[in-house]
Amino acid sequence: MFSLIQSRLLASTALCAALFSPSAFADQFDVHSVVKDVTLYPNGAMIHRKVTVSLPAGEHTITMADIPSITETEFVSLIVEVDGRAVGSLSYEEKTLTEAELYASETAQAAKERLEALEDQLRAKEADLSAIQLEATAAEDTLAYLQKLGNAETQDPVNMAGIARMIREESLAARLAIQDAKERAFVADRDLTELREEVAKARLDLESLVPTDVERLHITVPVTVSAPADVEVSVSYMTDDAYWEPRYQAVLDTEAETLALRRTIVAVQETGEPWFDVALTAATDDPRRRAAPSNIYERVRRLYEPHPNLRSAMSLESDSRGYAEPVMESPVVIEDRATVQLAGLSQTYDVGVIERLLSERSQTEFALSSVEFEPEIVVRAVPLYEDTGYLIASFTNESGELLVPGEVRLIRDGVTLGTTMLDALVDGGELDMAFGPIDGIQVSRILESRNEGDRGIVSKSNEEESAWRIEVENLTFKTWPIEVLDRVSVTEQEDLKIEWTATPMPDEQGYEDRRGVLAWRFDLAPAEMKTIKLSEKLRWPEDYVLD
């Protein structure tokens, strides 16, 4: 794949190559580029690398050997500039990093030197421990020899007495030596354990500071300067290996009726190299999205001979649209540092200069300012599907910002309830956010029966009548605003006649532009029960069947 890209680029820069003959270059400068600033997007990032080179007068080449390998799509967006001027005759080559290039940064070199120093200490400590263990072994050998000497038979009482004194003295010295060696070995082994842990940590630190992918893109730039100068070379390219995502905590206080939306930015980079002192910006734009709208073409309509069952099928399809299932909303303390900026249609968060952002390690989270709302709190009951009410906080986004899509952790009166997803909410947009069930609000939907044998539904060949009641009971110690949602049948056919009635009548018909969906709103005191009664009657011509 790379050879194809390279051949295309070389072909496209043939004219520029004539202006910069490689044989004329007097000096080659191998430089180490660093990531200076990054704009993170929800699905990628634009990375800007820079390096300053002090050049004498003349024609030179500058080679940056540490650019991460990028895909063909990312290669298209590669831009190389020298002091703001585009450079033409570039050459590209993939190579493996040398050890010097691997530890080119001062931070990585310092970490490498620290690891090497710790490893030297470890080897010295291990040698000291081995020497102590050898002392203990020698003392044990002496003691074993003395025991054999004491068991030897001799006939001279004088010699026996002298040998016994010598064995006693030497045996005591050997045992004391063994005891001392074991004590010193215990201390040395304990120090070794701590040192080994320190070496392992230093090794992990070093691994996080050097590229994990040793295959790198080498970019050679031809530069001519008329006088000695400091030349700045910058490289910009898109990558799929870095992105950001928002996270929220929605903290609802039902007593004070306040809602705080705490916001953070999570930055993730998996480029295979660490970033140091990088200026970080998070943008809400998505450069991967299609830039142009879709085309629309003519729609040609044709008539066909109807199938005998076509009308019934069409009737079923038409009626079923009125009974669509409702869509229910699924249910690091960090210093503030990111600030929002609005520019035209774009919204960015200036995170600032980040001291360190490692690759493929723990995510890094930065706090935004919290947004405060005064929500309208209601307990919504949907007795057609549930037997309890759910707490809903409705609010208008008056933050002056777009709230970007992200995960929201729900906290109600100090209790964590789980998570939900926030869709994009523009400034001035309205949102209903659910905060879990209120078990003390009991709801039932009962199909009424009047006498034995009556199932509550009177059905004829062309008529159907039904009646039901809804009961909402408050078993809590607080008065709650209640919203009850239910439905009656609707039709798109003139031949199907529908009559319905409710006691009391609903406060809203066609709730959220959904035909036949009704809404009642009232306050419910502790131990109070509210009853709603509904009935409907459907009539249609003979020889038709109701679905």
**C-alpha span between 44 and 268 (Å, rounded):** 10
For residue 467, the SS3 value is strand
Task: Identify whether 72 is part of a domain.
Answer: yes
What b/e sequence results for 475-488 when a residue is b if at least 16 CB atoms lie within 10 Å of its CB, and e otherwise?
eeeeebebbbbbbb
Neighbours of 545 (CB within 10 A): 10
Averaged pLDDT for residues 232-254: 89
Q: Which residues, 6 or more positions from 61, have their beta carbon under 8 angstroms from its beta carbon?
A: 22, 25, 27, 28, 29, 220, 221, 222, 223
- Which of 76 and 179 is assigned the larger pLDDT? 179
pTM of the model: 0.63
Q: What is the DSSP letter of 11?
A: H
pLDDT score for 326: 37
| Element (DSSP H or E) covering residue 530 | strand 529-539
pLDDT score for 285: 83
Averaged pLDDT for residues 500-506: 95
81 closest CA partner among 198, 234, 213: 234
- Which of 156 and 110 is assigned the larger pLDDT? 110
264, pLDDT greater than 70: yes
Residue 203 maps to which CATH number?
A: 1.10.287
pLDDT score for 369: 84
283, pLDDT greater than 70: yes
Q: Are strands 34-41 and 275-283 parallel, antiparallel or unpaired?
A: parallel
Task: Identify whether 388 is part of a domain.
Answer: no
Averaged pLDDT for residues 542-547: 77
pLDDT score for 164: 62
**Binning pLDDT at 50, 70 and 90, where does residue 153 land?**
low
pLDDT score for 250: 95
40, pLDDT greater than 70: yes
Q: Are residues 94 and 125 in the same domain?
A: no
pLDDT score for 386: 93
Averaged pLDDT for residues 40-63: 87
1, pLDDT greater than 90: no
22, pLDDT greater than 50: no
Q: Are residues 87 and 127 in the same domain?
A: no
**Binning pLDDT at 50, 70 and 90, where does residue 88 land?**
low
Q: Are residues 421 and 498 in the same domain?
A: no
Q: Are residues 362 and 282 in the same domain?
A: yes
402 closest CA partner among 433, 423, 421, 420: 423
Task: Identify whether 136 is part of a domain.
Answer: yes
**Binning pLDDT at 50, 70 and 90, where does residue 379 land?**
very high
Q: What is the DSSP letter of 90?
A: -
140, pLDDT greater than 90: no
**Binning pLDDT at 50, 70 and 90, where does residue 327 land?**
very low
Task: Identify whether 257 is part of a domain.
Answer: yes
Q: Are residues 73 and 17 in the same domain?
A: yes
**C-alpha span between 52 and 216 (Å, rounded):** 20
175, pLDDT greater than 70: yes
Least confident of 224-233, 434-443, 500-509: 224-233
347, pLDDT greater than 50: yes
pLDDT score for 14: 30
- Which of 3 and 99 is assigned the larger pLDDT? 99
Mean pLDDT over all residues of the chain? 77
518, pLDDT greater than 50: yes
Task: Identify whether 310 is part of a domain.
Answer: no
Task: Identify whether 313 is part of a domain.
Answer: no
pLDDT score for 284: 86
Averaged pLDDT for residues 356-372: 80
pLDDT score for 120: 80
404, pLDDT greater than 50: yes
444 forms beta bridges with: 471
Domain of 132 in residue numbering reads as 107-209
**C-alpha span between 221 and 27 (Å, rounded):** 12
Task: Identify whether 58 is part of a domain.
Answer: yes
Number of domains the chain is built from:
4
pLDDT score for 432: 94
Task: Identify whether 297 is part of a domain.
Answer: no
Q: Are residues 99 and 111 in the same domain?
A: no
409 burial class (0-12, 13-18, 19+ CB within 10 angstroms)? middle
Averaged pLDDT for residues 501-526: 95
* Structure confidence by residue, pLDDT tens digits, 244-260: 989 999 999 999 999 99
Q: Are residues 84 and 226 in the same domain?
A: yes
Q: Are residues 508 and 367 in the same domain?
A: no
pLDDT score for 318: 40
157, pLDDT greater than 50: yes
Least confident of 24-28, 392-396, 398-402: 24-28
Q: Are residues 87 and 156 in the same domain?
A: no
pLDDT score for 308: 52
Least confident of 218-227, 305-314, 348-357, 426-435: 305-314
Q: Are residues 84 and 112 in the same domain?
A: no
Neighbours of 327 (CB within 10 A): 6
Averaged pLDDT for residues 316-327: 39
pLDDT score for 452: 31
**Binning pLDDT at 50, 70 and 90, where does residue 150 land?**
low
Q: Are residues 117 and 93 in the same domain?
A: no
Cα–Cα distances (Å) from 404 to 392, 397, 421, 429, in that order, read 21, 12, 11, 12
238 closest CA partner among 50, 32, 75, 37: 75
For residue 163, the SS3 value is helix
Q: Are residues 149 and 124 in the same domain?
A: yes
For residue 16, the SS3 value is helix
**Binning pLDDT at 50, 70 and 90, where does residue 161 land?**
low
Q: Which of 158, 190, 209 is the last residue of a domain?
A: 209
